[in-house]
Amino acid sequence: MAHSEISGERSEGGTSLPRGVALVGGIGFVALGIWAMVDPLSFFETLARFEPYNQHLLQDIGAFQIGLGLVLLLAGWSGHADGLTVALLGVGVAAALHTVSHIAGRDLGGVPERDIPLFAALALVLLAAGGLRWRNVSADAARR
């Protein structure tokens, strides 16, 4: 069986079922993640009624949901992003939003003076590496 048949892609380059699932799934993850981050109480009351309510936890979950969604969107949408690029950028965005969650909830626990700079630095490293990888993979593809 040809690789394109195994992977679910049509050899003529059309949209494949896996790519469509990735895009729809990515949109769903991002939407739910934004909801959890922006209005965690509404998210809790409507969808995630697991006592006790914990604003910070729901906002963290939202950050990582968005990262997961972005991984699916990048993998499903871009022809230039390889697995490493997708992973670095998706996790980098999740880490950046996790930092935002800790900034917004700095009065809810943790050690903000340590956590926020650490999470921000991790996000910057991941995003910088992902951006560099994206540029290099795109440049390699353009040379072919």
| Selection from 7-11, 70-74, 81-85 with the highest mean pLDDT | 70-74
Interval 4-59: pLDDT, tens: 444 444 444 556 898 999 999 999 999 999 999 999 999 999 999 999 999 999 99
Instruction: Judge whether residue 120 has pLDDT over 80.
Output: yes
d(CA 74, CA 39): 25
How do the domains of the chain map onto residue ranges? Answer: 16-143
Rounded to 5 degrees, what angle do the CA atoms 102, 30, 112 make? 5
Mean pLDDT score, 73-89: 89
Confidence band of 125 (pLDDT split at 50, 70, 90) = very high
d(CA 55, CA 78): 34
d(CA 67, CA 65): 5
pLDDT for the residue 1 = 40
> Token pair of 132, please?
């560099």
Mean pLDDT score, 72-85: 87
Q: Among 19, 11, 30, which residue's Cα sits nearest to residue 68?
A: 30
pTM for the predicted model, two decimal places: 0.83
